[in-house]
Amino acid sequence: MRQDSEITSAIEKIKAKLSESGVSYYFNAPVIQGYQKAIKLLKSKETDITKADLEEITSVQGQAIAALAIYYLVGDISESVLLGIPLKKMKEV
Protein backbone atom coordinates (compact mmCIF):
# COMPACT_ATOMS: atom_id res chain seq x y z
CA MET A 1 0.00 0.00 0.00
CA ARG A 2 1.22 3.46 -0.90
CA GLN A 3 2.05 6.05 1.73
CA ASP A 4 -0.48 8.83 2.34
CA SER A 5 1.96 11.40 0.96
CA GLU A 6 2.30 9.43 -2.29
CA ILE A 7 -1.47 9.15 -2.65
CA THR A 8 -1.96 12.86 -1.97
CA SER A 9 0.71 13.73 -4.51
CA ALA A 10 -0.92 11.53 -7.16
CA ILE A 11 -4.34 13.08 -6.50
CA GLU A 12 -2.95 16.59 -6.82
CA LYS A 13 -1.19 15.72 -10.08
CA ILE A 14 -4.37 14.21 -11.53
CA LYS A 15 -6.34 17.31 -10.54
CA ALA A 16 -3.71 19.52 -12.17
CA LYS A 17 -3.85 17.42 -15.33
CA LEU A 18 -7.64 17.72 -15.49
CA SER A 19 -7.56 21.47 -14.92
CA GLU A 20 -5.21 22.23 -17.82
CA SER A 21 -6.79 24.55 -20.34
CA GLY A 22 -8.06 23.06 -23.56
CA VAL A 23 -8.79 19.54 -22.31
CA SER A 24 -12.47 19.75 -21.29
CA TYR A 25 -13.94 18.54 -24.56
CA TYR A 26 -16.19 15.63 -25.49
CA PHE A 27 -13.33 13.65 -27.02
CA ASN A 28 -11.60 13.55 -23.61
CA ALA A 29 -14.72 12.39 -21.73
CA PRO A 30 -13.53 8.78 -21.23
CA VAL A 31 -10.16 9.90 -19.87
CA ILE A 32 -11.73 12.55 -17.64
CA GLN A 33 -14.28 10.07 -16.26
CA GLY A 34 -11.54 7.56 -15.57
CA TYR A 35 -9.37 10.06 -13.76
CA GLN A 36 -12.32 11.39 -11.74
CA LYS A 37 -13.05 7.85 -10.57
CA ALA A 38 -9.33 7.31 -9.94
CA ILE A 39 -9.35 10.28 -7.56
CA LYS A 40 -12.28 8.76 -5.65
CA LEU A 41 -10.53 5.39 -5.43
CA LEU A 42 -7.28 6.97 -4.28
CA LYS A 43 -9.09 8.99 -1.60
CA SER A 44 -10.94 5.94 -0.32
CA LYS A 45 -7.84 3.73 -0.71
CA GLU A 46 -9.98 1.06 -2.37
CA THR A 47 -7.80 -1.86 -3.44
CA ASP A 48 -10.51 -4.40 -4.27
CA ILE A 49 -11.39 -4.05 -7.93
CA THR A 50 -14.66 -5.92 -7.41
CA LYS A 51 -15.82 -3.21 -4.97
CA ALA A 52 -14.66 -0.27 -7.10
CA ASP A 53 -17.90 0.06 -9.12
CA LEU A 54 -16.00 0.50 -12.36
CA GLU A 55 -19.12 -0.35 -14.35
CA GLU A 56 -20.51 3.10 -13.52
CA ILE A 57 -17.97 4.48 -16.01
CA THR A 58 -19.42 4.37 -19.51
CA SER A 59 -16.25 3.59 -21.48
CA VAL A 60 -13.73 0.78 -21.32
CA GLN A 61 -10.92 3.35 -21.50
CA GLY A 62 -12.30 5.17 -18.45
CA GLN A 63 -12.67 1.90 -16.56
CA ALA A 64 -9.08 0.99 -17.37
CA ILE A 65 -7.79 4.33 -16.12
CA ALA A 66 -9.71 3.96 -12.87
CA ALA A 67 -8.33 0.43 -12.49
CA LEU A 68 -4.83 1.89 -12.79
CA ALA A 69 -5.51 3.76 -9.54
CA ILE A 70 -6.01 0.44 -7.77
CA TYR A 71 -2.84 -0.99 -9.27
CA TYR A 72 -1.03 2.17 -8.15
CA LEU A 73 -2.36 1.85 -4.60
CA VAL A 74 -1.10 -1.70 -4.21
CA GLY A 75 2.26 -0.81 -5.74
CA ASP A 76 1.95 -2.68 -9.03
CA ILE A 77 2.55 0.43 -11.17
CA SER A 78 4.39 3.72 -10.78
CA GLU A 79 2.89 7.18 -10.56
CA SER A 80 4.17 7.93 -14.06
CA VAL A 81 2.11 5.05 -15.46
CA LEU A 82 -1.00 6.25 -13.59
CA LEU A 83 -0.52 9.77 -14.93
CA GLY A 84 0.64 8.74 -18.39
CA ILE A 85 -2.69 8.67 -20.19
CA PRO A 86 -2.73 11.71 -22.50
CA LEU A 87 -5.52 14.25 -22.75
CA LYS A 88 -5.95 15.74 -26.21
CA LYS A 89 -6.08 19.50 -26.58
CA MET A 90 -8.42 21.09 -29.08
CA LYS A 91 -5.64 22.02 -31.49
CA GLU A 92 -4.53 18.33 -31.63
CA VAL A 93 -7.89 17.06 -32.85
pLDDT at residue number 23: 86
pLDDT at residue number 93: 53
* Structure confidence by residue, pLDDT tens digits, 22-36: 888 899 999 999 999
Question: Closest by alpha carbon to 66, among 86, 80, 91, 85?
Answer: 85
Q: Look up the pTM and report it.
A: 0.93
- Residue positions counted in the chain: 93
Question: In this structure, are residues 38 and 64 in contact, taking their beta carbons and an 8 Å threshold?
Answer: no
